[in-house]
């Protein structure tokens, strides 16, 4: 039952070096990008928040994640030194940066400010 239910839930996109330009920079909607890594404890705390935001803003904004261990190009380009770091993009430009774990409403407000 769980597996069939999960198919209908919107999940945060896995953003890669290969699709970053298309998914993030060319989006006509604001984009929240969570730069994270599997070994990062605070990143694991942020993960459920990112998933909830992807559901709450489905159709209004794009919510995705970049694994900095396997997808290094844009993490380097945007100067990601500490994780988790969440960047907000609008019209192809990075407009906001949040380093470290913050309450869910902090991220929700960053999206709302850019809708």
Active-site amino acid positions: 40, 43
Neighbours of 90 (CB within 10 A): 18
Full 3-state SS string of 22-86: HHHHCCCCCEEEEEECCCCHHHHHHHHHHHHHHHHCCCCCEEEEEECCCCCHHHHHCCCCCCCEE
């Amino acid at each position: 039952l769980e597996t069939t239910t999960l198919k209908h839930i919107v999940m945060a996109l896995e953003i890669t070096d290969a699709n970053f330009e298309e998914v993030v920079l060319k989006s006509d909607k604001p984009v929240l990008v969570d730069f994270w890594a599997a070994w990062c404890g605070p990143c694991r705390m942020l993960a459920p928040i990112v998933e909830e935001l992807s559901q709450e803003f489905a159709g209004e904004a794009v919510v995705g994640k970049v694994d900095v261990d396997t997808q290094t190009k844009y993490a380097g380009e945007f100067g990601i030194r500490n994780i988790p770091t969440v960047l907000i993009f609008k019209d192809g430009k990075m407009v906001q940066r949040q380093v470290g774990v913050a309450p869910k409403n902090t991220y929700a407000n960053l999206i709302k400010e850019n809708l």
